[in-house]
């Protein structure tokens, strides 16, 4: 019984080029179908109000209410594509968002050239402090250039779980990226989503199982341990990249053979359930 730590859904397909079925391709209905077909019983849905999908938080909130115990929302706040990015008043916007959606946490996408400044700003501090007080989760899109700030923020807010997207985006061909990711393990409240291998692989996404990422996952597993690693599908973006939902499962379950079965059960959902139980969500 798997728990998907990173997936998306939109009322209309937000990416280019256009698709012939924009109201279905990325829908909650399609996500739930894929989950049912592959023994995925629960999922964290990461909101992203990109392109024309500026009501994605509301769309996912409605879907969560219709599927209690199956879908959990990570509402999006002030990500880099929004005019509110870095603007004063983030804590007030967060309060409004929590009241409207009642998510299990928020997600935030840092700008590539920010180097994590938002995390250490007064705005970021107020948001993280409020999340920690409420027992919520912080789901974060970041890259190696942000990690110094991520670690500093995690130490300042030790009660707040940080869930870093896509292993922190290490590039398989850049050893320094992996070393930077491994350094995050020094903060007990930083966890990694084992997802999005195509962002770091030197191979095209269709070249399943993207084997050059397996040594990266192995090093991360040895340093973090299974209880801080959460499998994620990145559905439906995985399809845009060339992978099926099934392949996002098998790239870990079958092809990361260095993970023993008991630990694999944690990575594929058990550890995330334990985390959400600790925060009082489940």
Can you name the residues that pair with 141 across neighbouring β-strands? 109
Tell me the pLDDT tens digit for each residue of 259-274. 999 999 999 999 999 9
The CA distance from 22 to 27, in Å, is 9
What is the reported pLDDT for 230? Answer: 98
DSSP 193-254: EE--GGGT-SS-TTSTT-GGGHHHHHHHHHHH-GGGEEE---BTHHHHHT--HHHHHHHHHT
What is the reported pLDDT for 67? Answer: 95
Query: Is residue 134 reached through a cis peptide bond, with omega within 30 degrees of 0 on the bond before it?
Result: no
**Is 70 exceeded by the pLDDT of residue 62?**
yes
Structure tokens at 23: 């109201």
What is the reported pLDDT for 262? Answer: 97
Mean pLDDT over the full length of the chain: 96
pLDDT over 90 percentage in the chain: 95
**Is 80 exceeded by the pLDDT of residue 45?**
yes
Kindly report whether the global pTM for this prediction surpasses the value 0.95. Answer: yes
What is the reported pLDDT for 278? Answer: 72
Are the beta carbons of 43 and 195 closer than 8 angstroms?
Answer: no
Average pLDDT (100-119) is 95
The residue that leads in pLDDT, 277 or 221, is 221
Our count of domains for the chain comes to 1
Average pLDDT (136-150) is 97
**Is 70 exceeded by the pLDDT of residue 136?**
yes
The CATH number given to whatever domain includes residue 260 is: 3.20.20.140
Instruction: Give the 3-state secondary structure of residue 74.
Output: strand
Range of the domain at 211: 2-278
Average pLDDT (158-171) is 98
Question: Which of the four pLDDT bands, split at 50, 70 and 90, describes residue 1?
Answer: confident
The CA distance from 72 to 45, in Å, is 6
Question: Which of the four pLDDT bands, split at 50, 70 and 90, describes residue 282?
Answer: low
**Residue listed under structure tokens 């990266």:** 216
């Amino acid at each position: 019984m798997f728990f998907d730590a990173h997936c998306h859904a939109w009322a209309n397909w937000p990416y280019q080029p256009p698709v012939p079925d924009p109201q279905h391709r990325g829908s909650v209905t399609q996500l739930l179908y894929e989950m049912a077909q592959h023994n995925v019983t629960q999922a964290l849905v990461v909101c992203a109000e990109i392109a024309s999908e500026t009501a994605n938080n509301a769309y996912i909130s409605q879907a969560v209410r219709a599927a209690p115990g199956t879908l959990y929302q990570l509402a999006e706040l002030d990500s880099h594509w929004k005019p509110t990015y870095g603007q004063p008043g983030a804590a007030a916007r967060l309060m409004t968002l929590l009241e409207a959606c009642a998510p299990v946490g928020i997600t935030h996408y840092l700008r590539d050239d920010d180097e994590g400044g938002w995390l250490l700003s007064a705005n970021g501090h107020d948001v993280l402090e409020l999340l920690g007080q409420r027992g919520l989760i912080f789901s974060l899109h970041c890259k190696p250039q942000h990690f110094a700030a991520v670690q500093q923020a995690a130490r300042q807010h030790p009660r707040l779980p940080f869930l870093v997207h896509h292993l922190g985006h290490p590039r398989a061909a850049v050893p320094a990226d992996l070393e930077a990711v491994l350094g995050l393990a020094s903060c007990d409240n930083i966890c990694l989503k084992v997802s999005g291998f195509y962002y770091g692989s030197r191979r095209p996404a269709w070249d399943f199982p993207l084997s050059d990422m397996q040594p990266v996952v192995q090093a991360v597993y040895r340093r973090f341990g299974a209880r801080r690693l959460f499998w994620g599908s990145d559905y439906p973006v995985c399809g845009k990249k060339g992978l099926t939902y099934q392949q996002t499962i098998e790239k870990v379950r079958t092809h990361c053979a260095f993970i023993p079965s008991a630990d694999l059960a944690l990575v594929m959902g058990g550890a995330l359930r334990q985390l959400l139980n600790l925060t009082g969500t489940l």
